[in-house]
Amino acid sequence: MPIIGAVADDLTGATTTGVLLARSKAKTAVFFNEEAAEKAEGAENLDAILVSSNSRPLPADEAYEKVKSATLALKRMGVKYFSKRIDTTLRGGVGTEIDAMLDQLDENAIAVVVPAMPQSRRILVGGYSIIDGVALINTPVAQDVRTPVKENYMPRLLEGQTRRKVGLVTLDYILKGREDTEKRLMEVRKEGCKVIVVDAITLEDVETIADACIALNWNVVAVDPGPFTAKMAYRRGLIGIEEPDIPDEKEQPGKTVLVAAGSATPVTKKQMEVLCEDPRHVRISVNPVPLINGGEEALEEALKAVNTAADMMKAQKAPRAILFETALHGELLNLEEEDRKHGYADGMSANRINAGLGTIISRLMEEVGREKIAGLYTTGGDTMVNVCYQLGVECIQVIDYVIPQADIGRLVGSYDGLPVIGKGGLTGNDHTACDIVDRLFKEAERK
C-alpha cells in the first residue's frame, strides 16, 4: 500500500518530486490522473504515488475540483502522508489547490509551504522568491503565456488565493536551528495560521524545517517543489538516502532520440540551438498555425513532419536525435491573441500545438517501430502530457534525473519500458539538451 501521496499541478512537476523519492529507494510511479492510479495493476506495491491534476492553467473553481478529486483518490488508496507539489516559479492557483487538499483531510492538518528547490537555484528569502539570483517577477515566468506570475512575495500571493490565514517563518529562525524553527512554527500556528510559508536557501535549511515539523508531531501537508517532501519522508523513516542511478552502458548505433520542444522560453531555445550544432542532430520546424487551426490542416502539417523524419530514420545512417519544434523559429505567436481570433477558450491554441506534437511523435513511432527509438525527450509539461496521451500511456515509473527538474522515467503500458525524460522550460544550462540525449542512450541500453 502506498504510504506517500502527492498531487501535482502538471506532469513534469509530478516527475520532479517523484524522482527525488525514487532516488531514495522508494518504488514510485507518476500517473496522469487519479482514474489511472486507482485502476493501475500493482499500485498497492508502490511506496509513493504522484498524480497530475493538470490544473495549473485552470480557473480557480476547476482547479479546486481537480485537486479535490485527486486527493480523495489517494485517500481511497490508503495514502498516509500527503504532499501538494507546486511549481518552483509559483505558477497556477497555489492557494486554491492547498485549500482543495486541506479540505479533504483532518481539521488539524497544517500546510507547511517550502517553495525552495536549492538544487535548481530556487530559494525563498524573507518570503520573496528568487530564481537563479533574480527576483521571480523579473524572470521570463512573469510573462508566461498561460500562467504569468506578477507577485514576488509568497505570503501575499497566497493570501489572494486561499481562504486560510497565512503566516511566515523567516530565514533568521531557520539559521538558528531546529529548536528556534520549531518555536516560531508554534507561534505562527497559535496566531491562527493554517498555511505557513517558510524561508530556505539550502538543502540544510529544508532539513532543519523537516526536523522541526517531525519534532512537533504535526499532521503536516508538505507544499513544495519536491525537496521538503523528500526530507519529510526521510525523517519519517520512509525512504533512504538519495543516490543517483546511472547505468554504465555504451551507446548502440542505429537508434534515434525523438525530441518534442513545446517550451518557447529563451532557455529552451538556446539549449536546442546548442543541441543542433552537432551534425548528427537535426531539426524539423513545424508550423504552429495549421495546428491551431485544427482539422485536416493540422493533420496535414503533422504528417509532413512525420514523413520527413521517417525518411531520415530509414536512411542508411539515421540521425542521432530529431528535434520537432513549433516555437523556436520565426516570430513567436501570441497564443492569447490566437485564442481570441479563433473564438477559442483560453489556452486552446497552446493545447492544439501540443496535441500536434503528440500526434507527430506517435505517428512516427508507428511508422518506424520502437526498435529504432532510443527514447523520448519533451520540454514543457503540457507537451509531455500530450505525447504520452497520444501514445496511450497513463503512467511513468520514475528512476533518476539528469539534473534536477530534468527527470528520467520509463513508460508503463504502451511502449512499456521506453525511456522518457521531461524537462521544464526554464531549467538547465546551454548544454542540458545534449546531456539529456546522451543519458537517453544510456537508459536505452540499461540491463
Instruction: Render 342-398 in DSSP notation, one character per residue.
Output: HTPPTTHHHHHHHHHHHHHHHHHHHHH-GGGEEEEEEESHHHHHHHHHHHTEEEEEE
Nearest CA to 404 among 386, 421, 387? 421
Nearest by Cα to 204 from 83, 116, 112: 116
**CB-based contact 421:408 (threshold 8 Å):** yes
- Closest C-alpha among 137, 135, 159 to residue 148: 137
What is d(CA 51, CA 37) in angstroms, rounded to the nearest whole number?
Answer: 7
Question: What SS3 class is residue 84?
Answer: strand
Closest C-alpha to 333, from 148, 150, 146, 149: 146
CA–CA dist 339, 288 (Å, integer): 13
The CA-to-CA distance between both ends of the chain, in Å, stands at 28
Global model pTM greater than 0.85? yes
Write the CA distances from 399 to 13, 80, 113, integer angstroms: 15, 23, 26
CATH superfamily of 256-444: Four-carbon acid sugar kinase, nucleotide binding domain (3.40.980.20)
The contacts of residue 52 (CB under 8 Å, 6+ apart) are: 7, 8, 9, 10, 11, 13, 14, 30, 31, 32, 33, 385
Confidence at residue 276, expressed as pLDDT on a 0 to 100 scale: 97
**Local structure of residue 252 (DSSP, 8 states):** P
Do 21 and 239 touch, CB atoms closer than 8 A?
yes
Euclidean distance between CA atoms 306 and 271, whole angstroms: 23
Q: Which three cell numbers stand for residue 366?
A: 508507428
**Is there a contact between 341 and 287 (Cβ–Cβ < 8 Å)?**
no
In the three-class reduction of DSSP (H, G, I as helix; E, B as strand; rest coil), residue 427 is classed as coil
3-state class (DSSP) for residue 425: coil
For residues 270, 123, 422 and 440, what is the CA-based torsion angle, rounded to 10 degrees?
80
User: Which H or E element spans position 166?
Assistant: strand 166-169
Would you kindly state where each structural domain of the chain is located, as residue ranges? 4-235, 256-444
- All three cell numbers of 320, joined, read 542521432
In degrees, to the nearest 5, what angle opens at C-alpha 434 toward C-alphas 371 and 314? 30
What cell numbers appear for 156 in the block? 501575499
Show the cell assigned to 226. Answer: 519536491
What CATH superfamily classification does 4-235 receive? Putative sugar-binding, N-terminal domain (3.40.50.10840)
Task: For the beta carbon of residue 343, count every other beta carbon within 10 angstroms.
Answer: 7
3 state DSSP class of 214: helix
- Which secondary-structure segment (H or E) carries 72? helix 60-76
Pick out the chain residues at pLDDT < 50.
none
pLDDT of residue 382: 84
Listing DSSP states for 26-68 in one string gives --EEEESSHHHHHH-TTGGG-SEEEEE---TTS-HHHHHHHHH
* pLDDT computed for residue 84 by the predictor: 98
